[in-house]
Amino acid sequence: MTAAISARGLRKSYGDFEAVRGVDLEVAEGEVFALLGPNGAGKSTTVEILEGLRPRTGGEVSVLGADPATAPRSWRAGIGVVQQAATDLADITVAEAVHHHARYYPDPRDPDEVVALVGLADKARTRAGRLSGGQRRRLDVALGIIGRPRVLFLDEPTTGFDPEARRQFWGLVRDLAREGATILLTTHYLDEVEALADRLAVIAGGRLVAEGTPTTVGGRDRAKALVTWVDPDGVQRSRATTDPVALVVELNALGPVADLTVTRPTLEDVYLELIA
């Protein structure tokens, strides 16, 4: 598949400190890709370089076929950005902000529809400075998608969302992906990654340490499962195995067992091991 985002040997230094150390990354057109890592790992720096908001020290980068550092203004129209935090626009209303940003793009979405899409229809006449943290994040998302971006960067977009708002946002991301948008997502919510991402990469210490799907990254699909049960004598037992189905069949052949459970490592388990 054609790569919408590509990085080769990407580096970023601040004086003697190397925040990003030779990252290789490729995201296919129409893919939802999650970039995970602890605070300070280099993921926000990497994303800002891909967005064209921060210069790189070395390496090659291509987004929609252009180098973000030198791309023309027309390239920007195909990019949507939801940054980690925003504090501007405090004195204008939600509707004014979205209508204003729509004018920057050649083929924007209908601003009123976007306001409703992010769940802010009842706050359309409210000044941005009076919104709650979660509501302000919804406005940030509205500004990120108003231009029908071909590539959308979402940097911890659901921070401050309540559970219902997060699920609504997940639906929005799925709809955008179905429309053909390429989405690069950073988040600390691993259930969000499992719900949305086609693939993911883990960055730690400025380097990619693993890449794969949510079910295979870090060898998750090959990790041992823990089988626990209570035998006929009432003794609780457990065994780690790479073939839990065979063990369950074996146990059933030996006689009745109670409280049988099979537990595989979660994505959080694998992630914490990768960044340790």
Residues 229-238 have a mean pLDDT of 82
Amino acid letter, residue 264: R
Average pLDDT of the chain, as a whole number: 91
Q: pLDDT by residue (tens digit) across 3-45? A: 999 999 999 999 999 999 999 999 999 999 999 999 989 999 9
Per the CB < 8 A criterion, the answer to whether 229 and 249 are in contact is no
Sorted by where each begins, the domain ranges of the chain are: 3-218, 222-275
Per the CB < 8 A criterion, the answer to whether 151 and 110 are in contact is no
For residue 151, give the nearest of 1, 2, 5 by alpha carbon. 5
What pLDDT sits at residue 87?
A: 64
For residue 201, give the nearest of 188, 213, 183 by alpha carbon. 213
| Whole-prediction pTM | 0.88
Q: pLDDT by residue (tens digit) across 123-132? A: 999 999 999 8
Q: Which is more confidently placed, 83 or 12?
A: 12
CA angle (139, 135, 45) in 5-degree steps? 60
Residues 52-65 have a mean pLDDT of 96
CATH number of 3-218: 3.40.50.300
* Residue where the block lists tokens 């302000």: 136
